[in-house]
């Protein structure tokens, strides 16, 4: 039997699953991970926490992950409390729960593209109509046009991604505030890459006290170098968290996930200690690419979008043939490279130089 023969939902027919290729090559710069693995002492603390948790694995985990949410609130600051923070398996699951609550049949969500391709996938997976808004030539948002699109479509959910994936573009909180004011429903600011933003870039968390329809999502997959742990979280008004409890599966966050995430938060000085290095490497990469005469989007994230190539697939393949995996994503003619270690970026430059 083939997939097409199964009685799946009509709106899933003909779809492809999300997935960056997981190819085993020496240099993987395609999924915006942090290239620095945990130190030996962090590994030891993680193992100890898992050992401790393992002794109680006959019992379900803390269903509300209270200790972890308290730790996350304290990391976020801004006076946030446990009642304003929620966590799930990656920010993808957090986003899915948001769509399950605020989307649904007859409802719509609007995002400004190019942006994170899971936003439309999660939206349509929740039987919600996806409306594609546009970004400017420099990948920024024109607040007047963004508000006009919101007024035209009246979406139940608006996605803003800052810094945006795959372009690296950060949004001014003043623009976010205007959009929240104009939006008839919820506004989700996806801050997966916030920690990489240039110093001084304010978080949308600053807008939470005045905006109960604002949700700010974060992840431990990027700056925290914990992509394998699968821990995403959000901050919002306490009533939003209450609403999310209506759709979350009971015991969705395993005992081991909660324990590992808490250890990582306790080691945050070490984990986030790589951010400055990655920012410097990013800025050097932008400069190098521009020096080669390429077009490069300004980046506040741990990746860089560059182009333009009439046949970007050929460039992607040629770089891969030299042992470096980057990402074919974003507008046609552009490619994205995640920031790796100094050695990995040297390998990337050498690979690209051989082609240009
Ligand atoms: N938001 C954005 C903008 C992303 O780029 C990603 C990962 N690529 C995510 C959310 C999801 O990350 P995770 O589920 O690992 O938290």
CATH code that applies to domain 21-36+274-353: 3.90.1150.10
**pLDDT value at position 225?**
97
**pLDDT value at position 57?**
97
- Ligand 1 centroid–CA 133 distance in Å is 20
**pLDDT value at position 15?**
86
- Ligand 1 centroid–CA 227 distance in Å is 9
Tell me the per-residue pLDDT of 9-54, one tens digit each, with 9 for 90 and over. 998 898 888 877 888 999 999 999 999 999 999 999 999 999 999 9
**What is the number of alpha carbons within 13 Å of residue 356 lying toward its C-beta?**
16
- Ligand 1 centroid–CA 5 distance in Å is 32
DSSP 194-250: GGGSPTTPPPGGGGGGG-TTEEEEEESSSTT--GGG--EEEE--HHHHHHHTTTSPT
Residue 320 reports pLDDT greater than 90:
yes
User: How many percent of the chain have pLDDT more than 70?
Assistant: 100
Tell me the per-residue pLDDT of 91-149, one tens digit each, with 9 for 90 and over. 999 999 999 999 999 999 999 999 999 999 999 999 999 999 999 999 999 999 999 99
Residue 190 reports pLDDT greater than 80:
yes
**pLDDT value at position 292?**
97
Cβ of residue 116 lying under 6 Å from some atom of ligand 1: yes
Which of 10-14, 50-54, 76-80, 249-253 has the lowest average pLDDT?
10-14
DSSP 316-344: HHHHHHTTEE-B--SSTTEEEEE---HHH
Which residues in 263-282 are b (16+ Cβ under 10 Å) and which e?
Answer: bbbebeeebeebbeebbebb
Cβ of residue 115 lying under 6 Å from some atom of ligand 1: no
Instruction: Look over the chain and give the mean of its residue pLDDT values, rounded to a whole number.
Output: 96
CATH class entry, domain 40-267: alpha beta
Cβ of residue 232 lying under 6 Å from some atom of ligand 1: yes
Cβ of residue 165 lying under 6 Å from some atom of ligand 1: yes
Cβ of residue 217 lying under 6 Å from some atom of ligand 1: no
Domain boundaries, the chain: 21-36+274-353, 40-267
| Closest residue CA from atom 2 of ligand 1 | 192
CB 206 within 8 A of CB 78: yes
Cβ of residue 169 lying under 6 Å from some atom of ligand 1: no
Provide mean pLDDT across the span 233-251.
98
- Ligand 1 centroid–CA 323 distance in Å is 25
Provide mean pLDDT across the span 179-207.
96
Contacts of 347 (CB under 8 A, 6+ apart): 26, 27, 322, 323, 324
What pLDDT band is residue 56 in, cutting at 50, 70 and 90? very high
- Ligand 1 centroid–CA 123 distance in Å is 15
Helix, strand, coil share of the chain (percent; to 5): 45, 15, 40
CB 256 within 8 A of CB 50: yes
What pLDDT band is residue 81 in, cutting at 50, 70 and 90? very high
User: Which of 92, 123, 197 best tests ligand 1's pocket when mutated (most atoms within 8 Å of CB)?
Assistant: 92
Residue 269 reports pLDDT greater than 80:
yes
**pLDDT value at position 22?**
86
Say whether 40-267 and 21-36+274-353 share the same fold: no
- Residues facing residue 189 across a β-bridge: 160, 216
Instruction: Pick the atom of ligand 1 nearest to 93's CA.
Output: 14
**pLDDT value at position 29?**
98
């Amino acid at each position: 039997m083939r997939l097409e023969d199964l009685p799946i939902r009509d709106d899933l027919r003909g779809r492809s699953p999300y997935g960056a290729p997981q190819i085993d090559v020496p240099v993987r710069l395609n999924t915006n991970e942090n290239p620095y693995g945990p130190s030996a002492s962090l590994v030891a603390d993680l193992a100890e926490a898992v050992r401790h948790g393992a002794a109680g694995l006959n019992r379900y985990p803390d269903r509300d992950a209270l200790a972890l949410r308290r730790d996350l609130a304290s990391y976020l600051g801004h006076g946030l409390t446990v009642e304003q923070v929620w966590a799930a398996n990656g920010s993808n699951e957090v986003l899915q729960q948001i769509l399950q609550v605020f989307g649904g049949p007859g409802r719509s969500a609007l995002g400004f593209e190019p942006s994170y391709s899971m936003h439309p996938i999660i939206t349509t997976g929740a039987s919600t109509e996806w409306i594609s808004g546009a970004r400017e030539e420099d990948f920024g948002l024109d607040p007047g046009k963004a508000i006009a699109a919101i007024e035209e479509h009246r979406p139940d959910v608006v996605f803003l991604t800052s810094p945006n994936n795959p372009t690296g573009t950060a949004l001014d909180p003043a623009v976010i505030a205007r959009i929240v004011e104009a939006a008839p429903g919820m506004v989700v600011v996806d801050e997966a890459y916030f920690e990489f933003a240039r110093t001084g870039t304010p978080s949308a968390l600053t807008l939470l006290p005045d905006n109960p329809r604002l949700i700010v999502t974060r992840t431990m997959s990027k700056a925290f170098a914990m992509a394998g742990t699968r821990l995403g979280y959000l901050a919002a008004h306490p009533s939003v968290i209450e609403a999310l409890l209506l759709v979350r599966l009971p015991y969705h966050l395993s005992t081991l996930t909660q324990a590992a995430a808490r250890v990582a938060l306790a080691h945050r000085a070490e984990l986030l200690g790589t951010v400055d290095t990655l920012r410097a490497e990013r800025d050097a990469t932008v400069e190098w690419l521009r020096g080669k005469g390429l077009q490069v989007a300004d980046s506040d994230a741990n990746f860089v979008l560059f182009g333009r190539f009439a046949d970007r697939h050929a460039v992607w393949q040629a770089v891969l043939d030299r042992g470096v995996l980057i990402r074919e994503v974003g507008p046609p003619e552009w490619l994205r490279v995640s920031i790796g270690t100094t050695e990995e970026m040297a390998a990337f430059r050498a690979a690209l130089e051989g082609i240009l």
